[in-house]
Amino acid sequence: MNIAELDGRIGEGWGGLSPNGCHINVILAHRGSPTAAAAISMFTHPSPGHTPVLCCVGASQPEYQPVWPPTLMMNKATANTPALETMTWGPGQLGIGQAVLDSVAAGLIEASGDLIVLVAIWLDGDANDETKVRLAAREAVGKAIRMAVEGRDPAAAAALVENRDSLRNPFYSGD
């Protein structure tokens, strides 16, 4: 599939277990498209506790390199403690970068400046294991990119429709 055909494709993934698991949303954008413009505009709208970054990896700050394709990362949970900031922009960012590079290695996406990967990450404020967070982010982003590129499993989508009256959510405890 060429990069233009990926524009606007959306994927979702969960990795790991709470409190060290994470939830990911991915949007793929073709550079120069309205989707890419919307993704890039988030850089002009940071808010306290929500800082968009270009995903970079490296053993030290002077060694940082951007993941390619360019990957824009935004946290969904407000990073309002030093611990959550560290988990988000440390192991969360590293796991995101590794998953994007895994997806390039697997041939799902190209390492091209014409593709932009937008990743929104949710981490639990009680996350406490950097390795588990990194692995969870890597797993979740991998799932989300695969869904964005390959599409939703039609049988899984049909099952949701069929079972819509009995669906549950871990954050809902009502009837």
- What is residue 4's three-state secondary structure? helix
* Digit-coded pLDDT (tens) for 2-19: 999 999 999 999 999 999
Which residue in the block uniquely carries the two structure tokens 């309002």?
Answer: 80
pLDDT at residue 27, as a whole number: 97
The answer on pLDDT for 152 being more than 90 is yes
Measured CA to CA, the distance from residue 47 to residue 125 in angstroms comes to 18
The H or E element that residue 143 is part of is helix 130-150
Distance of CA 106 to the CA centre of its chain: 17
Can you read off the two tokens belonging to residue 48? 């306290």
Q: In the chain, what are the domain boundaries?
A: 3-151
Predicted TM-score (pTM) of this structure: 0.94
- Residue of 25, 23, 38, 55 whose CA lies nearest to 122: 23
* Digit-coded pLDDT (tens) for 89-106: 999 999 999 999 999 999
- Residue 58's alpha-carbon distances to 62, 65, 109, in angstroms, are 8, 6, 22
- Partners of 118 in the beta sheet? 27, 72
23 catalytic? Reply is: yes
- Interval 59-65 mean pLDDT: 92
* Mean of pLDDT over the chain: 94
Catalytic residue among 23, 30, 45, 50: 23
The H or E element that residue 118 is part of is strand 115-123
Residue 97 burial (C-beta neighbours within 10 Å; 0-12, 13-18, 19+): buried
The answer on pLDDT for 87 being more than 80 is yes
* Digit-coded pLDDT (tens) for 20-57: 999 999 999 999 999 999 988 877 788 888 888 999 99
Give me the architecture of the 3-151 domain, per CATH. Answer: 2-Layer Sandwich (3.30)
